[in-house]
Every structure is written in C-alpha cells, then in structure tokens.
C-alpha cells in the first residue's frame, strides 16, 4: 500500500517510509491511498470474535500487503495485551474505557503498535539507529515511552511544556532513563509540536540523523486506534444495542476521532460522530463557520486536549475532499469550559457512581446534550481519572484511589533536561546527543 501526503506536493511512499519518516517531505500527513470496506459478513459475525481477532482483520486491511501475516498477528496480539471494555454509565450512554493499558490512557494502543512495527522495520535494516521525536501535552509522552522503553536501535526524545502537565503525567515519562530523553521546554504544547515539526524539515538534521515522529500523526500510531471502535461496536452488538450508534470522542489533536472516521469509511455502522472539545474550540468553530482558523492553545483542566491547531484536521479534510457540508453533517461539535467539566464530573458521580476523568467528562456531557431517545451513545473514556487526581478530587466528596501501576511511576526521580523554546538550541542538543549509528 502506498501512502500519500495531505499536502500533495511529494510522491507517495511505502509503509516503511511512512512509519519511519512520520511526516511527509512536504510537511503533510500520510494517508493510505485506499480505505477498503470490510465484507458485510465480517460485520454480521463481529460480535462472535475476540478483540485481537477483530483488530487483526482491521490491521490486515491496512498493513497486510506490507507486513507478513505472522508478524502482524504478533504485533496486534502484543499491542492488545489489555481490554477496552464498554461500560454502561447512564440511560443510553456508554463508556468505551481506553485506560486499561500500562500508562492508563488510550494512547497506549497506538504507541505500542507503532513501537513494535518500527522495531520490525529497524530489525530489517540494522544500519542506522532511529531517533524518535515526540511532543506531548501529557499522555502521549508516557504512552510512547512505555512502548519504546528498552527497544534496541531506537532512541526517544520527548518534548513537553514546562509546568503544563500534571505531576503524575510528568513522572510517567521523566523518570525512566535508558533510551529515553525528556526535554522540558519553556513554552506551550504548540511550541513543542512546532520544534518537532521544524526538526523534520531541517536539512542538516536529516542528513545527519534518522529522525521519526511518534506523535498521533504517524500512521502506525493513528490507524490502530480504529481497532477499538470495531470492538466497541461488537460489544454493543452482543447486547443488541448496535443500532443508531453515536460515537463521541474527546478531541485535541483529532487523531483518535479520525481513526473512528476511517472505521466508518470501512463500513463500521456508526450513525454519526461527536467531537467534544474543551475551551480549545478551533474545530467547533470550523463546523459552525466553515472556516478553519488555528489559534494559540489555552490551558484547561483537560490538558491533553489543549491544542490550538489540530494536526489531523488535514486528514479529515482529505477524507471528505474538504467538503464542509459533508463534514458538519457527519460530525457534531461541542465545547466545554473548565467549570462545565467540573460540574459534569460531580453530577455524573452523584447520579451514577461512575468517576469520569476531565477528558471523558467532555464526551459524556456532549452525549447527554446531543443524544435522542432512540440513539445509543458511546463516548471514549480516554484516561483513568487518577491521572488527573487533583482535579477530580477537588470536585468529588472523597479522594479517588491511585491504581498500583500508576503509583509505581510516582516514586521515580525526574531526569528531564530544561530548554528554552528555541529551535537552534533544540537542534544543537540533537546534534550533540542523538545517535547516528
């Protein structure tokens, strides 16, 4: 399968190159040249399959031509070493819990798949070490680091905005060492993302180093997120609840919802989508006005969604030929203030006992406002609430428990390197520290 750039100014590449490069040479995002519908028999029987079996069928549709069947099977099985259950919360609203992985957030799925696919490709070509650059607003860093920790031939550089991620999140990626380097940038998430993007465009850096991205823009991270939407459908079908299905995704960089749109294109029977935002409402504004106007991000209590220029907008635009009417008919937008998010966490707990995290709360609230009686709504619970303990404890009557696998991170020592928001400094740092062979 070839992958083309959303900017259309460079030639299509094969999977290996798309995965290793991350971003196209013209700064666009890679898109698979074909998105094939899966056979109707697959959807008829989907409720009888396991998560791994469903995911393998989806993975084959994209990667089957380029990765041997047994290798792909192993990558899928190793990636999905944990469950993504659908849990009833209230009325016709269900949570797709994506936090049962090692770092308690949905990004574990894409990060684990990508690390394994990249290791597979690196294994075929021992000549050069790969340097993974990743900008994080919180959860990406820990998920990527977890996926790559100790993987030979791969070095990871994590850039994160100083003082803008929670202590718990920070501990999950700054305490590990080994092949992981963390850089604490005096700036915002958008600054971190810009530094990474510029590194990929820099001629000298690319001549000297083999660089790749592990942000949600990488096809190997973003496509596997479709797995759990098929599985969510299967779980709803098992209960006879698959009709009039609405999928609601708390969105920041829009990778997660875009994977859902790919699933829809492959024939997954989802009636419509909801993109739930915090105060960073660029996409919401686009849906209402037809104009896409990026702006600086603002800080919120759902900080993994603090994105002012969502990268994956380019993929959504490409998927629907830039047709605003099609896009706004399929996707509804919501945005919530921090106060509304807090009120939702409190209210949902009081009424149901279910503890939402600040991101999932946006999804839950959007469904509450949008669903009609005959619809069934599934929202992504994108992280475990304990990752945002301070915020959640402040609105609930009693403090929530910290799961063991999260507590372990918090005992480590912080190893981050501080850095100004300066591309020259970042470049010098990479030239000095990154491995060339």
Q: Name the residue nearer to ligand PLP (CB basis): 102 or 252.
A: 252
Query: Considering the complex, what minimum distance in angstroms separates the CB of residue 143 from ligand PLP?
Result: 8
Query: Considering the complex, what minimum distance in angstroms separates the CB of residue 156 from ligand PLP?
Result: 17
Residues at the interface with ligand PLP (CB under 6 A): 105, 107, 138-139, 216, 250-256, 304-305, 359, 382-383
Q: Name the residue nearer to ligand PLP (CB basis): 140 or 242.
A: 140
Q: Name the residue nearer to ligand PLP (CB basis): 43 or 320.
A: 320
Q: Name the residue nearer to ligand PLP (CB basis): 93 or 359.
A: 359
Query: Do residues 12 and 33 touch, judged by C-beta distance below 8 A?
Result: yes
Is residue 427 among the annotated active site residues? Answer: no
Query: Considering the complex, what minimum distance in angstroms separates the CB of residue 139 from ligand PLP?
Result: 3
The length of the chain in residues reads 437
Q: Name the residue nearer to ligand PLP (CB basis): 153 or 360.
A: 360
- Residue 211's Cβ-side half-sphere holds a number of Cα atoms within 13 Å equal to 27
Q: Point out the catalytic residue in the list 9, 48, 107, 167.
A: 107
Query: What distances in angstroms separate CA 112 from CA 74, 136, 398, 419, one per listed residue?
Result: 12, 16, 34, 28
Query: Do residues 52 and 240 touch, judged by C-beta distance below 8 A?
Result: no
Query: Considering the complex, what minimum distance in angstroms separates the CB of residue 355 from ligand PLP?
Result: 14
Distance CA 126, CA 45 (A): 42
Lateral strand order in the sheet of 13-14: 13-14, 2-5, 30-32
Query: Considering the complex, what minimum distance in angstroms separates the CB of residue 303 from ligand PLP?
Result: 9
Enumerate the active-site residues. 107
């Amino acid at each position: 399968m070839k992958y083309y750039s959303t900017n259309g100014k460079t030639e299509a590449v094969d999977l290996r190159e798309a995965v290793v490069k991350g971003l196209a040479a013209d700064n666009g995002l890679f898109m698979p040249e074909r998105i094939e519908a899966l056979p109707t028999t697959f959807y008829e029987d989907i409720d009888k399959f396991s998560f791994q079996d469903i995911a393998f069928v989806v993975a084959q549709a994209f990667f089957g031509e380029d990765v041997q069947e047994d290798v792909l099977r192993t990558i899928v099985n190793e990636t999905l070493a944990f469950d993504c259950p659908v849990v009833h919360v209230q009325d016709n609203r269900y949570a797709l819990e994506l936090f049962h992985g090692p770092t308690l957030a949905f990004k574990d799925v894409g990060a684990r798949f990508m690390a394994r696919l990249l290791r597979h490709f690196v294994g075929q070509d021992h000549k050069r070490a790969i340097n993974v650059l990743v900008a994080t607003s919180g959860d990406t860093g820990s998920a990527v680091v977890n996926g790559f920790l100790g993987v030979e031939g791969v070095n990871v550089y994590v850039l994160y905005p100083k003082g803008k991620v929670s202590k718990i999140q920070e501990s999950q990626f700054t305490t590990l060492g080994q092949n992981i380097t963390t850089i604490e940038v005096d700036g915002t998430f958008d600054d971190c993302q810009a530094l990474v993007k510029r590194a990929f465009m820099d001629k000298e850096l690319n001549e000297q180093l083999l660089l790749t991205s592990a942000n949600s823009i990488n096809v190997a991270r973003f496509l596997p997120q479709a797995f759990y939407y098929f599985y969510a459908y299967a779980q709803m079908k098992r209960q006879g609840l698959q009709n009039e299905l609405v999928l609601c995704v708390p969105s920041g960089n829009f990778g997660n919802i875009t994977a859902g749109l790919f699933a829809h294109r492959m024939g997954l029977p989802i009636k419509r989508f909801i993109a739930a935002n915090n105060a960073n409402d660029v996409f919401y504004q686009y849906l209402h006005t037809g104009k896409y106007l990026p702006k600086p991000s603002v800080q919120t209590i759902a900080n993994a969604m603090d994105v002012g220029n969502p990268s994956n907008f380019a993929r959504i635009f490409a998927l629907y030929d830039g047709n605003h009417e099609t896009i706004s008919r399929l996707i509804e937008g919501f945005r919530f203030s921090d106060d509304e998010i807090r009120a939702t966490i409190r209210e949902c707990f009081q009424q149901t006992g279910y503890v939402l995290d600040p991101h999932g709360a946006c999804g839950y609230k959007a469904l509450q406002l949008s669903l009609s009686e005959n619809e069934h709504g599934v929202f992504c619970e994108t992280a475990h609430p304990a990752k945002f303990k301070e915020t959640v404890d402040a609105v609930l009557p009693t403090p929530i428990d910290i799961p063991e696998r999260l507590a372990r991170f918090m005992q480590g020592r912080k190893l981050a390197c501080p850095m100004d928001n300066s591309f020259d400094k970042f470049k010098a740092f990479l030239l000095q520290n990154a491995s060339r062979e």
